[in-house]
Structure 1
């Protein structure tokens, strides 16, 4: 009997831990709802793509990457797709950026002008896939420039620019001098500039091979800018409304600040008084349960006070109606309630 309670508690804890573990695992796995079919595609470079990443059509999640393996110097990507989605012979797979932290997803698009026929589950995509673009290569291309700059020079140039914009004429001449030295420094470092051009040439070659995507990017940016320009009036009105609301909120806070300070002072005074009568509060905590225990007996017969007058004595000055006279009327026996 002594081991039963600990065993029951441990069993409940184990069941709860398993349920929480399953919930977390299901959330992180992000399984595709419903039945799925398996397809395969190949990439020359699948950098950044991992098992469990999304598969999307027109930006909508329709599947997930199930496996990535090396097959004859190429990346073999296997993915699961919902059964209500169809893959055609002109479907092209590409690796795209999902967010700014580097997470990627597998995008599926139709190539216009190509023959279109339905592919059976388990098939391999026929259209050549578009490999992942490595942004780190672009940043690494500027490494020679970063290596040539000294932190002290950058700090001095930044400080002089700030002082120049503030109207300091001495700083203006110093800024021009620093810019001249920086230009001369770059002019004497042909090898650095050559390395920079060499590093960026590979990036530009990769971008040129993805001309269609760059064209789509430019068109989408143009549409975005046009949409923002068309809604400039609404955006301006929204900014003005936010400014007015912020100003009103500041005024409201300024008006209620004295009341808030007074409320805080009152709370501090009340707390101090309660601390001062701490012993009485302790006694109240002891007596209150005893009162609450007998309180139901008073109202036990209904929504009214149930009070018995067990002894009643009336005396006026000890002369009229002497003490003890009235209490003798009716006898001295008591009912069960008064005993």
Structure 2
């Protein structure tokens, strides 16, 4: 009785585990975009594979038949894309085109029957040559021409119109009716703003008239700028050397200031004390400055004959002492005219 009660829950548990494992494996294969069917690998060369990534889809008539395996650069300027195709053989004249999958920028490879006779089938591992491949449509060039028109539309209308333009130009649009409808709506919107557009054109005309009236000055300015740029280009080596030398000078000056900063601080402090002393003895300082010219003139006249001072003895006297008797002796009387001034 106990054995039968254990077997039933155990069988249910095993069935649950098996179903869970199968569902998890299916989910993993779906997320990883893996195909378990037998497939053959081929290569194709493109001039540009921007935004094409490994794992992107390979389609025939809009149906997924494979995926991109690897992307490499060959011959320094070409891209070699390796992809696989499941359960089908490719014609010998097959062509490969990279197309936009959506406006986010995702791509896929579209395989199509080439012109002329198919010439049998493409061998597994064979290469689609460059002349039978086409890169993705350059949206930068295409949408750049519509930029002034897109500025008059809402973001939602821009997305719709852009997507339909891409679909039509890639040959995937059933009709151009929707594209024409959006274009008509666009032109109606622009027509309703003709006053604003006219004002912009008038402002541009005013700017162009001003520029046209000063064309000579503008030409001279452009010529002078060209001369300046040419001169700078010719002296680029000297300018580079000067910049390098300035860098060295800056470093040396910084080092000098670092070493001299303590001494400068002391000198500045000493100057502060000197100015305080001079201010405290203002009258004495003024008297010294007033008498200094005459003193300097006398000293200069004394030392005018060379790097020495000339002294003249105008008078000399002495005293002879004998006991309590002191007798003055005029040894040199004042007779020179210079001593009588």
Please give the range of the TM-score, normalised by the shorter of the 2 chains: 0.3 to 0.5
Greater strand content: 2
Q: Which has the larger radius of gyration?
A: 2
